[in-house]
Structure 1
Amino acid sequence: MKETSHAADDAGRDRREFLQTSGFVGAGLVAAAAARGADPIPNPLDLTNVGPDKIPLKPFGKTKERVSVIGLGGHTLGLAPTLKEAVAIAHEAIDAGVNFFDNAWEYHDGKSEEWMGEALKGRRDKVFLMTKVCTHGRDKAVAMKQLDESLKRLKTDHLDLWQVHEVVYDNDPDRHFAKGGVIEALDEAKKQGKVRYVGFTGHKHPDIHLKMLAHDYPFDAVQMPLNPFDGTYRSFATHVLPVLNKRGIAGLGMKSLGGNGRPVLKGIVTVEEALRYAMSLPVATTISGIDSLAVLRQNLAIARGFKPMTADEIATLRARCAAAAGDGHLEMYKSTVKYDGDIGREQHGFPKQKEMPV
C-alpha cells in the first residue's frame, strides 16, 4: 500500500469531509459518503441479551465470542482513588453484565493491571480480558517479557485478546512487521496458548491503521477512537471500520467523549449522545473510561436496554458536531502529540511530555 503524506492529505481530506457534512444532514450525508465509495453509517451489529435491565452483547468479529456493548477501560481504573474502589467498580460492572475488560502493560507503570488482577480474583471466567503489548518498535523478546509480566499482574494464565499498543507513528507498521518484531510475538503467544486473539490499537490517523491492515495479517481486533467528531475529522469510522467489517475483524471503539470529556463540558454533546453514537456503530464494544462508581452507574444506565441510533440520527449528530470537529481541538490525540505516551515517544527519539517546551 502506498504510503501517503499526512501533512498534504489532511487539509484536503478534512475540508472534503467538513463540506460533506456541515451543510447537509441525514440522507445528504449518506449520499456524499457513497459518492466517494464509502458508507459512513453501516448497519449496526446484531444484539443479544436484550431487555430493559440488561447490557446487550455484540459479536466479536467473525468469532463465536460475544462481548458487552460497553467495556471497562483499564487506564481510568488505575485513576480510581483507591484499590478498594477500583475493585468495587470492576465487581459492579461484572455483576451488571459488562464482560469486556481493557488494559495495557504500561498503564500507570503496571498499577492498572495489578489492580485489575486483584479485582478479577475468582471472576476471571466472567470476563473477556484484553491487555496491550507496549514494545513501540522494540523486538519480540521485549514483547514476550511484557506478556509474562502482564499475565502475572492480571493473575491469569492467558489473555482473551493481546493488542499492539499505540500504533501512532508513520513508521510504526514497518517496525512492528520487521523481522523479529512484535508481530512475531503475537504468533508465538498464540502458539504457546497464552493468548487467544490478537489485534492493534492507535489514535492518531486512519492511514496508519490502514497501513497496518495492508499487511493482510490475520488480526482479530482493531481499536480506534470513535465519537461524533471523528465522523467528520480524520475519520476512523468512515475509513477504517468498513475495512474491518468486510474482513470480519472486530472493531473496538474508544474515546467516545473525546478522550477528556471536553465536548461534554463545552455543551456540544451530552454523555448519552456520545456513548449511544459510539455504541451504535458496527463495533464489538465501546471501551469507556470509568474512574468512579458514579461514572460507572451513569454509563450503565445508558447501556442498559441499549437500542442503536438510526442512520438519520447518526448523520444528524455528525453534522451538528462537524463545525466544532473541523480544527481537531476536540480530538487532540489526532491533531497534537499531547496524548502520545512517553514510552513510545522515547522509542522514537522524542522527549517525554514533561520535557517538552511550554
Structure 2
Amino acid sequence: MDKHRLGQSDLYVSAMGLGCMSLGTEEAPAVSIIHEALDRGINFLDTADLYDAGRNEELVGTAIRGRRSEVVLATKVGNRRIPGQDGWSWDASKTYIKSAVQDSLRRLQTDYIDLYQLHGGTMEDNIGETIEAFEELKQEGLIRYYGISSIRPNVVREYVKRSRIVSVMSQYSILDRRPEEAILPLLEQHGISLIARGPLARGILTDNGRSRPGKDYLDHTAAELAALHEELTRQASAPRTLTQTALHYPLSHQAVAAVIPGASSPEQLRLNIAAAEAAPLTAAEAAAVRQTVKAGVYTSHR
C-alpha cells in the first residue's frame, strides 16, 4: 500500500490506516483484525484513551506486542474520567496531559507514541500550556510528534500558528467537504497533513449504503442521500466502486496523508483494503464528485 509522509515529520503512514475505535472489547477478534491489517500493508493505527475507557488502547497494545517497529502508533488525550462521576470531562492542562500519557504508554505496552493528538480543543483552553506539555513530552522521548483532532477551524488555526503540530485529524468525506473551505488550504500552506476520519460517512458511502435505513447526515436529508448514493454509484460504475471513490476522494487532496476507516470485522477490513488499493481518482473523477455534492461550510467555531 502507498505510504505518505505525515506533515514535515519522518513518519510515513499507509494511505489507509485503521481507525481502531470500532474493534469492540473482545481480545481475540480485535487482535486478529489488527494483525491482518498489518499483514496487508497497513502501518498506521489510530486509537484514543477515550475509547472503551482505555480498553481499546489495551487491545492495540496486545496486538502490536512483538511488532512495534512495523507500526506508526497514534493515540489521543484530553478527555478525563473523574472517579465516581459518569462520563468524561475536558482537560487540556499540562499536568493532566503529562499524567495521561503514562497511562496510555502502559496500556499500549510501549515506551513511546509516534503521534500524540489533542482529542478536541477549545478557544477557552490555556493553549500555550497545552503546547508546552506536548513539547516537553517530545523532549523526554515519550512521543515523537504531536497533532490535534478537531473540526473547529478557529482552534486549528491557533495550533497551526503557535505550535509544531504535524497533523490535524478531521472528519472529511464526499458528504462532509467542509475542510476544503477552511482547513485544507491552511494546512497545505504550512506543510501540515490532514488525517481524514469518517471517509465512508457511517457506511453511507459504501456499495451497500443505499440499503441502510433513511437518516439525515449533517445537512443532507435522507431523500438527498438516496439520490446522491444513486448518482455517485452511477459515476463510479466504471471503472471503480463507490467505496473506492469514497476512500480515494479525500486522498485526492494534496494535504491529506491518510484516511482511517474503521473495521469491526475481517470482512469489512478486506473490503476497505481492496478499495484503498484501487488506482487514485483522476482529476476528472474528483471534479465530478465536487459537482455532484455540495461543498458545505462551517457554521460555528470559525
TM-score by length of structure 1 reads 0.67
Match of 1:216 among 155, 158, 162: 162
Q: Tell me, yes or no, if the aligned pair for 2:73 and 2:113 is still in contact at 8 Å.
A: yes
Equivalent in the alignment of 1:249 = 192
| TM-aligned CA deviation for residue 207 of structure 1 | 3.8
Q: Tell me, yes or no, if the aligned pair for 1:230 and 1:237 is still in contact at 8 Å.
A: no
Q: Tell me, yes or no, if the aligned pair for 2:61 and 2:107 is still in contact at 8 Å.
A: yes
Q: What pairs up with 1:128-147 in 2 under 5 angstroms? A: 128-135=72-79, 136-147=90-101
For residues 48-77 of structure 1, the C-alpha deviation after alignment (integer angstroms, 9 at most, x for no partner) is xxxxxxx11112212333210000112112
Q: Tell me, yes or no, if the aligned pair for 1:72 and 1:289 is still in contact at 8 Å.
A: yes
Is 2:186 the counterpart of 1:240?
no
Match of 1:150 among 104, 113, 116: 104
Equivalences, count:
259
SS in 2 for 1:219: coil
Equivalent in the alignment of 2:268 = 295
Q: Which runs of 5+ in 2 are unaligned?
A: 80-89, 211-225, 233-241
Distance 1:157 1:272 in 2: 36
| TM-aligned CA deviation for residue 118 of structure 1 | 0.6
Letter in 1 for 2:171: P
Distance 2:276 2:126 in 1: 35
Q: Tell me, yes or no, if the aligned pair for 2:7 and 2:166 is still in contact at 8 Å.
A: yes
Equivalent in the alignment of 1:173 = 123
Higher relative contact order (CA 8 A, sep 6+): 1
CA RMSD of aligned residues (A): 2.1
Match of 1:91 among 21, 35, 45: 35
For residues 258-304 of structure 1, the C-alpha deviation after alignment (integer angstroms, 9 at most, x for no partner) is 2x223542452532221121222221111111111011000111122
For residues 62-121 of structure 1, the C-alpha deviation after alignment (integer angstroms, 9 at most, x for no partner) is 2333210000112112x26x3101101100110111001101111110011000011011
Letter in 1 for 2:289: L
Distance 2:263 2:39 in 1: 16
SS in 1 for 2:17: strand
Equivalent in the alignment of 1:319 = 291
SS in 1 for 2:259: strand
For residues 190-231 of structure 1, the C-alpha deviation after alignment (integer angstroms, 9 at most, x for no partner) is 11100000110113x434422432x33111111111111222
Distance 1:245 1:320 in 2: 24
Q: Tell me, yes or no, if the aligned pair for 1:164 and 1:201 is still in contact at 8 Å.
A: yes
| TM-aligned CA deviation for residue 335 of structure 1 | 8.1
Equivalent in the alignment of 2:114 = 160
Equivalent in the alignment of 1:202 = 150
Q: Tell me, yes or no, if the aligned pair for 2:77 and 2:118 is still in contact at 8 Å.
A: yes
Distance 2:273 2:45 in 1: 15
Letter in 2 for 1:193: G
| TM-aligned CA deviation for residue 249 of structure 1 | 1.3
Q: What pairs up with 1:1-358 in 2 under 5 angstroms? A: 55-77=1-23, 79=24, 82-135=26-79, 136-167=90-121, 172-178=122-128, 181-203=129-151, 205-213=152-160, 215-231=161-177, 235-258=178-201, 260-264=202-206, 265-266=209-210, 267=226, 268=229, 269=232, 270-282=242-254, 283-304=256-277, 306-322=278-294
Letter in 2 for 1:274: A
Letter in 2 for 1:173: M
Q: Tell me, yes or no, if the aligned pair for 1:137 and 1:182 is still in contact at 8 Å.
A: no
SS in 1 for 2:48: coil
When residues 194 and 250 of structure 1 are mapped into structure 2, their CA distance, relative to the original with a 3 A threshold, is same
| Amino-acid identity (%) | 33
Q: Which runs of 5+ in 1 are unaligned?
A: 1-54, 329-333, 337-358
TM-score by length of structure 2 reads 0.79
Greater fraction strand = 2
